[in-house]
């Protein structure tokens, strides 16, 4: 194994995550016309009158700019950002002060070519869209509105046509588990920059009973490693995927069967077989590119990642509603750098349970949001990870080739 290439499998930002985040998410509004089963925000139809105003929104963007260069990636989300009349003004302002901006709209009639062109003209770099089923029956049932699938796919095509990049988001639940290979093929056919697979956090409308099991988590992540050989794939709130990437890459190089070594279950085998049946294996341009394009990025709640609510409260993530301050009172860089919760979340020595004992905790750390949602303790062990610390037989070989794995 080549040490430098192996290290690239988990990307580290080139700057200190204690000083500046890689990504800032601003919940511009809670208003949305959808009624999604998993909605973190429990979105409603109308805008919250206590939301940050246009001037306060610009103030927030100025605070993000104060983190310095390289600028954090800023994602304007909701609810549905198109429910804010000033969204184009905010994008234009953020762009003018040097922030790279992306927008995450909902699959509604507002997701139309004129609005997408206005975002492009205002300076937006990319759009993230959500598809949670490969057909209207699955997706619309999940999103709670008939026609959402068709509006999202139409908007997806329009986004590409106007010259914006597309990240496709899919939430994994028991409702769409075995439809994932079909969604993958749809992403191949229409075209995406990245497929981001989100693992449910039981907060807001999301329920524990909607989750897949810890073993199914393991199986899905191992299948995503296979899918990532054809298409750029990343996970959200699925931090143990970084462990899987390291393990599977080593097993590939040793020529070992992951089903036996990783103790993969029926779900993996069903997903993989369906993937073989439906994937376009002639569409392999990602395989010939540097693997770092698909490598997971080592960020986590409060550690390279920060979320600002519509009212200006600062959370480690949108799925951990524990406020560390408000941008109306304290500038965002001070909250991110100094808040005790954020400092604890950036310290792997603070992790408890299996995460505290795990040899992969410096490059994984588990979902802090899911730990909080299930236990009330943001430093507790990841409740939906099946891995037992110390059980990977080839751990020593990883330590010699990945510096961040060293004790």
**pLDDT tens for each residue of 290-322:** 443 445 778 899 999 999 999 999 999 999 999
Q: For position 5, what pLDDT does the model report? A: 37
CA 263 – CA 384 distance, rounded (Å)? 16
Position 3 scores a pLDDT of 32
The pLDDT of residue 288: 40
Per-residue confidence band for 31, with pLDDT thresholds at 50, 70 and 90: confident
The whole-chain average pLDDT of the chain stands at 89
5-9, 71-75, 191-195, 304-308: which has the minimum mean pLDDT? 5-9
pTM of this prediction? 0.91
- Helices then strands (H, E): number in the chain? 16, 10
Q: What is the pLDDT of residues 108-159, one digit of tens each?
A: 999 999 999 999 999 999 999 999 999 999 999 888 889 999 999 999 999 9
Give alpha helix (H) positions in 13-96.
54-65, 87-96
CA 376 – CA 321 distance, rounded (Å) = 11
Binned at pLDDT 50, 70 and 90, residue 329 comes out as very high
pLDDT in the model for residue 403 = 59
The token pair that represents 392 in the structure block: 């990977």
Q: How many whole angstroms separate alpha carbon 78 and alpha carbon 271?
A: 32
Return d(Cα 219, Cα 386) in angstroms, integer. Answer: 10
pLDDT score at 393: 92
Q: What was the pLDDT predicted at 2? A: 32
Q: Which two tokens stand for residue 125?
A: 């770099």
Distances (CA, A) of 35 to 78, 334, 364, 394: 13, 35, 32, 45
Nearest to 273 by CA among 263, 259, 285, 262: 259
Structure-block tokens of residue 314: 């600062």
pLDDT of residue 6: 40
Which CATH number applies to 3-293? 3.20.20.70
Instruction: List the domain boundaries for the chain.
Output: 3-293
Q: How many CB atoms lie under 10 A from the CB of residue 377?
A: 12
Predicted confidence band of residue 402 (pLDDT cuts 50, 70, 90): low
Mean pLDDT confidence for 369-378: 95
The two tokens of residue 171 are 């939430």
Region of residue 401 (phi > 0: left; psi between -120 and 50: alpha; otherwise: beta):
alpha
| Dihedral pair phi/psi, residue 349, rounded to 5° | -70, -15
User: Which pLDDT tens digit goes with each residue over 45-75?
Assistant: 556 789 999 999 999 999 999 999 999 999 9
Predicted confidence at residue 33, as pLDDT, reads 73
Both tokens of residue 251?
């097993």
Contact 76, 126 (CB under 8 A): no
Determine the pLDDT at residue 283: 66
Question: Per-residue pLDDT for 4 more than 50?
Answer: no
Residues 202, 209: Cα–Cα separation, whole Å: 9
Contact 82/115 with Cβ under 8 angstroms? yes
Percentage of the chain beyond pLDDT 70 is 88
d(CA 118, CA 164): 11
Q: Tens digits of per-residue pLDDT, 262-295?
A: 999 999 999 999 999 999 998 665 444 444 344 5
CA distance 44 to 82: 14
pLDDT digits (tens, 9 = 90+) for 199-250: 999 865 657 778 899 999 999 999 999 999 999 999 999 999 999 999 999 9
pLDDT at 12: 72
């Amino acid at each position: 194994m080549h040490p430098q290439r192996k290290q690239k499998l988990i990307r580290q930002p080139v700057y200190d995550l204690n000083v500046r985040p890689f990504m800032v998410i601003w919940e511009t509004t809670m208003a949305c016309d959808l009624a999604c089963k998993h909605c973190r925000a429990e979105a409603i139809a109308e805008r919250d009158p206590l939301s940050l105003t246009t001037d306060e929104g610009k103030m927030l963007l100025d605070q993000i700019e104060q983190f310095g260069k390289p600028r954090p990636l800023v994602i304007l989300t909701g609810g549905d950002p198109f429910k804010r009349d000033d969204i184009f003004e905010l994008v234009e302002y953020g762009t003018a002060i040097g922030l790279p901006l992306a927008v995450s709209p909902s699959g509604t009639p507002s997701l139309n070519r004129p609005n997408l062109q206005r975002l492009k003209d205002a300076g937006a770099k990319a759009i993230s869209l959500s598809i949670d089923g490969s057909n209207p029956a699955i997706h619309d049932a999940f999103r709670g509105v008939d026609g959402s699938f068709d509006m999202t796919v139409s908007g997806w095509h329009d986004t590409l046509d106007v010259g914006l990049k597309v990240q496709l988001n899919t939430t994994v639940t028991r409702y769409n588990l075995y439809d994932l290979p079909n969604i993958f093929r749809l992403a191949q056919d229409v075209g995406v920059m990245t497929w981001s697979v989100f693992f449910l956090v039981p907060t807001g409308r999301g329920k524990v009973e909607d989750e897949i099991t810890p073993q199914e988590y393991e199986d899905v992540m191992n299948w995503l490693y296979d899918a990532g050989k054809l298409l750029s794939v990343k996970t959200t709130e699925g931090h143990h995927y970084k462990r899987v990437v390291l393990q599977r890459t080593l097993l590939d190089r040793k020529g070992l069967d992951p089903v036996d070594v990783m103790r993969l279950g029926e779900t993996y085998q069903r997903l993989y077989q369906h993937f073989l049946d439906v994937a376009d294996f002639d569409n392999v341009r990602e395989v010939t590119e540097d693997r770092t394009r698909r490598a997971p990025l080592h960020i986590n709640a409060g550690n390279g990642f920060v979320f600002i609510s519509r009212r200006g409260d600062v959370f480690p993530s949108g799925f951990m509603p524990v406020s560390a301050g408000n941008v109306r009172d304290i500038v965002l860089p001070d909250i991110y750098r100094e808040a005790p919760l954020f400092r604890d979340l950036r310290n792997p020595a603070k992790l408890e349970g299996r995460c505290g004992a795990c040899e992969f905790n410096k490059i994984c750390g588990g979902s802090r949001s899911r730990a909080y949602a299930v236990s009330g303790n943001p430093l507790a062990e990841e409740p939906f990870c099946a891995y037992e610390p110390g059980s990977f037989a080839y751990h020593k070989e990883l330590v010699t080739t990945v510096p961040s794995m060293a004790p």
